[in-house]
């Protein structure tokens, strides 16, 4: 019951991503102008600027991890390759979330003053992700740091060469595969 909301979280998050990329910072005025939502609505839904930033960050992190962990845990002929390619794929079909993930700094998106429950939720997500990586590393008999580099560091480094300007070209998938393969072969 009550008045229905007139905008989606997604729209506001996209505005956050846009500000991050265009201005290099997130000003509430810029967000409300971009998303065409009043400040009252923002505060009604997110409580504060910190709450908004935290919400956008959690949304992006959660969406990415869902896909990443699914790819990581699925059986494959080249273990890890699919997970490494989640990053470029994510950049292509979830542009706003990807921009937040790649250009947002954790310390600004989830500040010390963010709502405690949201901070807890982030810890939970990160724990889940870490566990997934550790399991994979153990199963493959690889050092965890090498796995982090192959599945996270390199794909991120690759897509950041293109964001925010242009789209991530298909060719990076092959290059990521080339770079990652030798790291994932047991030595």
Partner DNA sequence: CCCATAATAGAACATTTTTTCTAGAACATA
Partner DNA sequence: TATGTTCTAGAAAAAATGTTCTATTATGGG
Contact footprint for a copy of itself (CB under 8 A): 20-25, 103, 105-109, 111, 145-146, 148-150, 152-158, 160-161, 169, 171-172, 175, 178-183
Q: Is 49:113 a contact under the CB 8 Å cutoff? A: no
Measuring CA to CA, how many Å separate 166 from each of 17, 95, 99, 122, 184?
15, 11, 12, 30, 29
Could you tell which of DNA, a copy of itself, none binds residue 157, using a CB distance below 5 to 8 A set by kind?
Answer: a copy of itself
Which of 23/78 has CB closer to a copy of itself?
Answer: 23
Which of 65/111 has CB closer to a copy of itself?
Answer: 111
Residues 6+ away with beta carbon under 8 Å from 6: 37, 41
- CA 34, CA 12: separation in Å to the nearest integer? 8
Min dist. Cβ of residue 48 to a copy of itself (A): 16
Torsion angle in degrees (nearest 10) through CA of 103, 108, 114, 118: 30
Q: Does 6 bind DNA (CB under 7 A)?
A: yes
Which of 39/126 has CB closer to DNA?
Answer: 39
Measuring CA to CA, how many Å separate 179 from each of 8, 36, 102, 118, 156?
39, 43, 20, 36, 13
Helix or strand (DSSP H, E) at 78: none
Could you tell which of DNA, a copy of itself, none binds residue 50, using a CB distance below 5 to 8 A set by kind?
Answer: DNA
- CA 17, CA 20: separation in Å to the nearest integer? 5
- Give the chain's count of helices (H) and strands (E): 12, 0
Min dist. Cβ of residue 52 to a copy of itself (A): 15
Min dist. Cβ of residue 161 to a copy of itself (A): 5
Q: Which 48-87 residues touch DNA, going by CB under 7 A?
A: 48-50
Binding mask 12-51 for DNA (x = CB under 7 A): --------------xxxx-------xxxxx-xxx--xxx-
Q: Does 108 bind DNA (CB under 7 A)?
A: no
Residues found near DNA in the complex (CB under 7 A): 1-7, 26-29, 37-41, 43-45, 48-50
């Amino acid at each position: 019951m009550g008045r229905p909301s007139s905008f989606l979280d997604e729209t506001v998050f996209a505005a956050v991503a846009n500000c991050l990329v265009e201005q290099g910072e997130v000003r509430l005025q810029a967000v409300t102008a971009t998303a065409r939502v009043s400040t009252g609505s923002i505060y009604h839904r997110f409580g504060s600027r910190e709450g908004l930033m935290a919400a956008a960050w959690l949304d992006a992190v959660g969406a990415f991890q869902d896909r990443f962990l699914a790819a990581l845990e699925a059986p494959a002929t080249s273990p890890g390759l699919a997970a490494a390619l989640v990053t470029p794929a994510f950049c292509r079909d979830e542009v706003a979330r990807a921009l937040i993930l790649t250009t947002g700094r954790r310390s600004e998106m989830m500040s010390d003053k963010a709502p405690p429950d949201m901070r807890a939720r982030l810890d939970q997500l990160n724990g889940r992700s870490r566990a997934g990586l550790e399991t994979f590393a153990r199963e493959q008999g690889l050092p965890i740091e090498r796995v982090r580099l192959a599945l996270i560091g390199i794909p991120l480094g690759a897509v950041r060469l293109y964001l925010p300007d242009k789209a991530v070209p298909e060719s990076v998938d092959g290059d990521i595969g080339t770079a990652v393969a030798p790291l994932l072969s047991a030595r």
